[in-house]
Amino acid sequence: MSTTAAGTVRPRPRLYIDGVELECGLDAEDPTVPVILDGLAINWGRDDIWDEPNTTTLTVALYDRAGAWAQRIAAAQAVGAQVMLYATEAATSFSHLVFRGQVSAVKARPRRRDRPDGEWMVTLTVADPTAGLGNATVQAAIGNTNTWPHETLRARAVRTAVQVAAASGIPDAYFDPAMVNYRVAPWEVEGNVRDLVTRLYQSTGASWTYVQHENVIRSVDRIVPRARGLLTLRRVPAVGDAGHIVTVATAPGPYDPGSSTAPWPSATVPACWAVAEDDDMEQTKTQAITRVVVKWHNWANDTGREIHTVLDDPTPPIAGRNELVHESWLSDGLDVDPMIYRLLARATAEGRRPLHPVITYDTDRTAGGFLDATAARRHLTPAETNGLVSVPGSPFADWLVYVPIFRPSGGRIEYRRGRWHITYTLQWLDLDFDGVPDMFGWGQLGHTDRLTWAGPDTVLDESISYASLENVELPATWASDWT
């Protein structure tokens, strides 16, 4: 029996350096092509929900046959080159901007030591626009004063966006519009723009991410999606003896209020498609926070007195105290209170769960492509959006009796030997179980006469386990899915 799904979208990378597209794939029989892309890898995100994101970097491997990069390096024109990476497929009209940035470092060596005048291997390290944030000092830009005034969060965000645009070219920075009228304390201008961005989002109890294809910074807020309807069954084409596979599918992730108008693409990576890079699940004191402390200055009904608002877990899992200390610009206790409750909820719900091992999905498991365009966009978006990933059949989720739904917070996107390899750092979600469906039975599954163990029509994906079906809902179109 074969349960390899047939991917319907097979995009290839298209790399542009200073507006010029490079050939993809080494063609030893055609030495006239001067520079060839041989492989790439993107590293993005953060390891833990309490960390701040790292600058996303792209590493590119090139073969230079004509000395083009020798000329660039000699003229000091290598570092700073503009890079754009797309994933496209003409047959399906798929096109997605995966990465943008500037070359920050270059290495070169002869491909063969005995022929230094022949082909050279050139490795580029490319940093996305957020790298510029750490290299730019915040400018006061308000008369002759170095202090930003007591103002609304919207006004502070506008000042921050001006600094971000000047430092990086990123035109917009979004946050929850429900907070626009919150008041923030005066701030003496200091530090770099990256620290400024972090301070802005930390003040609301959130983090931030840079979305490459939109060229914007977005807030990473806590989300608690409804479990009902989040996971459904799907019948997809297969490769081999089975004509189709019944597998679990993930509904789109929620949109960002006020800053996006559609749900974020989500994807499913059945456990049998993935390899756990580290077989160990881990839990540390980071997952045992029992107290949240928020430091802020009261300007709403005082003169800026520093206040430490404390909130304890009423049912702590450990006897000792483990604090999360948070600083905020918010200047009114009425605004601080809901923020600290959100922080404690995050710390005591999804933040208390052990870390799922990092997983890697090789598109060879889906016949060299992605299941569809939606999955391709989720897998090829190196940002912590509201796009979700489910891993049905995960032994770690089954063992802990958790729904295998995650919001990826980081990872790696690689293209080598003609295939995409997607690695995810997985962060659990807290779910709303109101109205979750009952487990459906074999009879409700329908068309059971066409479900077989070895084909030729339809088989269950080998990752499907009893536990992974607990919160799965049959779609309304289930009957027509079999036609």
Q: How far apart are the C-alpha atoms of 23 and 25, rounded to whole Å? A: 7
The dihedrals phi and psi of 482, each to the nearest 5 degrees, come to -95, -5
Domain assignment present for 305: yes
28 pLDDT higher than 60: no
Domain assignment present for 180: yes
Q: How far apart are the C-alpha atoms of 34 and 22, rounded to whole Å? A: 9
Domain termination site, one of 314, 337, 352: 352
Q: Give which of 370, 301, 309, 299 is closest to 336, Cα–Cα.
A: 309
126 pLDDT higher than 50: yes
Domain assignment present for 141: yes
Q: Which stretch of DSSP H or E encloses residue 343? A: helix 333-348
Tokens encoding 248: 């679990």
Tokens encoding 91: 């047959």
The pLDDT value given to residue 29: 58
Domain termination site, one of 319, 352, 385: 352
Q: Give which of 127, 129, 120, 114 is closest to 38, Cα–Cα.
A: 120
Domain assignment present for 289: yes
Domain assignment present for 175: yes
Q: How far apart are the C-alpha atoms of 207 and 384, rounded to whole Å? A: 10
**pLDDT tens for each residue of 151-183:** 999 999 999 999 999 999 999 999 999 999 999
Domain assignment present for 480: no
**pLDDT tens for each residue of 402-416:** 999 999 999 999 999
pTM given for the model: 0.94
The pLDDT value given to residue 336: 98
Q: What is the mean pLDDT of residues 195-211?
A: 97
| Cis ω for the linkage preceding 456 (within 30 of 0) | yes
Domain termination site, one of 329, 352, 375: 352
Across the chain, which distance is largest between two alpha carbons, in Å? 79
The dihedrals phi and psi of 251, each to the nearest 5 degrees, come to -70, 160
| pLDDT band at residue 1 using 50, 70 and 90 as cut-offs | very low
Q: Which domain holds residue 159?
A: 134-211
Half-sphere exposure in the Cβ direction for 227 (13 Å, CA): 20
| Amino acid at site 179 | M
Q: How far apart are the C-alpha atoms of 116 and 121, rounded to whole Å? A: 11
Poorest-pLDDT segment among 27-41, 127-141, 197-211: 27-41
Domain count, the chain: 2
The pLDDT value given to residue 144: 61
